[in-house]
Each structure stands twice: as structure tokens, then as C-alpha cells.
Amino acid sequence: MSILGFTWYYIVVFLVVLTILVYVHELGHYWVARRNNVRVEVFSIGFGPEIYGWTDKHGTRWKISAVPLGGYVKMFGETMYDDDSEQTTPLTPEERAVSFHHKRLAQRAAIVAAGPLANFLFAIVVLAGVYGIVGNPAPLAGVGEVLPGSAAAEAGFKPGDRILSIDGKAIKWFEDLRRVVSAHPGAPLNLVIRRDGVDLSIRVTPTVDQEKGADGTPIRVGRLGVRPDPGQIEYERQNPAAAVWMGVERTVGLSGQILVYLGQMIAGNRDAKELGGPLRIAQMSGQVAQGGVVNLVVFMAALSINLGLINLFPIPMLDGGHLIFYAAEAVRGRPVPVRVQEYGFRFGLILVFVLMIFATWNDLVNLRVIEFIRQLIS
């Protein structure tokens, strides 16, 4: 396939992924708004002129817009002033009943927080589905690397070996191999391995090492001195409860890793040039999609977590910024002055715009687009 073909492939995959994630995010806002009897006027995928749309029985205009880089939900009364007297036309009792502005503080906060929470829930459901239907990728009891001077090296293990049993008990997963060896420090073990299609018997004595136990006291553990073989991977399907738990655990773990990464970048321990924007995401989406649907679905879950976290940042214009204003309203007992909110939203818009420009510039440099343009004009 040509470079141009790859480019269009990446763009199409990226837009499909982005559309799904934006829909999930905005659906969170929409669903909680409707549960709280707020009238939703527009549900848009994309910005700008409408390409296609329809109006449902509740009066919501569902539409697909020309610029497919985001989306929004427009609720009635979302930009009301603090006092109805400042409105050119006072609201009727029926309008006040469905106005976002006139809902209780807890209701408004729930509606705003629902978008990011929907992204986290989507990631959990997707990952749980993968773990339950396809399985969790786990290394088999194979040898990928033999550490020099280790017990495995002395016993004659070679990369590519597959451990079949230990002392007559069948072994399948590398984690089982690690567990058995760890429990037998300095004790000889009889292993059956498969090498080049032939089963061989090997006797090995794990070396003795020390590590801290759960209570902090040192304990003796056995070490074989092998690392798993990335070529010997099998998917282990989980039952529904385990799959959901793993989905939650993985979502929480990825969220923590992202926050640590951003913290290191803010502290200067990571280069800000690593920050990627839409072009980098488009490239990664296309590359991951070539590895199969499962890989793309898992990547989509990771992006959904990113989207949820980013929207919770305390920046005006983002959901997190709105939640900060609501927190201030809870403390003050009244809404933050309109003028303060306006200045905050302007600052937030500028900050988001600058970050987008910076991330896009990083993309252009890392993807060598700037270098390519220079070559064309030189």
C-alpha cells in the first residue's frame, strides 16, 4: 500500500475511534441530564454545519456535523445568568422545570461528571469483554532468555524451551513456573521440557535469594534465572466476575500510569516533546488496527481512559473546570459570579488552544512532516 493509502487508512480508523469515544462521553452527559429532567436541545457529533440530523420526540436534535473532531450536548438553560431578571424574557414555570441552570447543585455536578465517568465505564466494559471473550494474554511456561550464571544456565536451558511439568505436575503458565520455583529455594527439581519437538528431562536446583514478605520480614525464595518468551503467549479466558474485576483493575492502573506520566512531565523529568496530539493518535490508531480488531478495541479503551482523565482536569472549558466552579459554589453558598466564570472560560479556551498547537507541533516534528516540507521547497 502506498504512503497516501496508509495516510487515508490511519485517518479513517482515527475518525471511527474518535467518533465512538465522543459519542460515549456525550451520551453520559445526555443520559444523566434526561434522568434529571433537563431538556437537551442538541446532541452533536462534530462541530460546524450540520451534515445529517433528526429530531426525536423529546425535541432533541441529533446531528452529525462537518468537523468530526469532537462533539457536544447543548442543554436548555446551560448559560443562564444568576438572576432571571437579567434575562430579556423571563422563563415560564415549565421552562424553569427543564432548565439546567435551575437544577440543584448536586444534579448539575452529576450531569457534568457523567461524561468522564462514561468514558471510564466504557473502558471497563470493553476490557472486561476482551478478558471474558478473547482472554487475558499471559506468557506460557516458555524460556525467552537464560540469565548468565543462573541455575537455568548451569542446567542447560536454552531460549525457546517450553517447560511441561515440574516433579510430575503439569505446568502451563509462566506465573505457575515462577510460583513453584520460588517455593523451592535450594531444592532440586525435576523438569520435563520440550525443545525442537523433543521432550527432555532436566534436573535443576534453584538458587536461594531473599525478598521481603507481606509483613516486611525477609523470606527465602528460589530463582531459576529465566525470562518469559514473548513468542509463547496464550489467551486465558476469564469468568464474568474475574473479567469485570480485571477490567476495573486495568482501568485504575492505566489511570494511575497516565497521571504519573503527566506529573513527571510537569516536574521536568520527562521531555514535553513526548506529548502527542491528534496526528500521533491517528498514526497509532492505524498501526494498532493493522494488528487486529482486539488490539484496536483495547487501544480504544486506553484512549477512553485518557479522554476521561483529561476532561476532569481543573481547567475552565473542560468538565473538571465546571466541577471546580460547582465546588466553589458549594463552599460559598451561591454561584461564582458570571464575570469570574467568563474570564475563567476565556483563560481555559486559550490554554486548551495553546496545548493543542503544542501537541500538534510535536506531531509534525516527530512524524517528520516539517522535514518533508523543507525537502519539497529546498
Percent of the chain past pLDDT 70, that is, above it, reads: 81
> Are the beta carbons of 43 and 30 closer than 8 angstroms?
yes
At 364 the pLDDT is: 54
- 268 vs 350: CA distance, rounded Å: 23
The yes-or-no answer on residue 26 being catalytic is yes
Nearest to residue 277, comparing CAs of 367, 372, 371, 374?
367
At 277 the pLDDT is: 58
DSSP for 227-292?
E--TT-EEEE---HHHHHHHHHHHHHHHHHHHHHHHHHHHTTSS-GGG---HHHHHHHHHHHHTT-
Has residue 347 got a pLDDT over 90? no
Q: Which of 63-67, 85-89, 312-316, 341-345 has the lowest mean pLDDT?
A: 85-89
Has residue 346 got a pLDDT over 50? yes
Residue 47: in which H helix or E strand, if any? strand 40-55
At 17 the pLDDT is: 87
Residue 299 to residues 121, 131, 290: CA-CA distances in angstroms? Answer: 15, 14, 12
Has residue 370 got a pLDDT over 50? no
Neighbours of 157 (CB within 10 A): 24
At 224 the pLDDT is: 92
At 214 the pLDDT is: 66
3-state secondary structure of 196: coil
CATH class of 139-235: mainly beta
Has residue 360 got a pLDDT over 80? no
Question: Which among 26, 249, 274, 371 is annotated as catalytic?
Answer: 26
Task: Kindly report the average pLDDT of the chain as a whole number.
Answer: 82
Which residues are bridge partners to 74 per DSSP?
A: 42
- 71 vs 68: CA distance, rounded Å: 8
Nearest to residue 142, comparing CAs of 96, 102, 177?
177
Has residue 114 got a pLDDT over 90? yes
Residue 209: in which H helix or E strand, if any? strand 207-212
pTM, full prediction: 0.73
Q: Which of 53-62, 185-194, 254-263 has the lowest mean pLDDT?
A: 254-263
- Selection from 153-167, 221-235, 256-270, 285-299 with the highest mean pLDDT: 153-167
> Are the beta carbons of 360 and 275 closer than 8 angstroms?
no
Which band of pLDDT confidence, cut at 50, 70 and 90, is reported for residue 262? confident
Has residue 127 got a pLDDT over 90? yes
3-state secondary structure of 325: helix
Domain boundaries, the chain: 3-36+103-135+239-377, 139-235
Which band of pLDDT confidence, cut at 50, 70 and 90, is reported for residue 365? low
Has residue 126 got a pLDDT over 80? yes
Query: Which residues are CB-neighbours of 255 under 8 A, at least 6 positions away?
Result: 120, 305, 308, 309
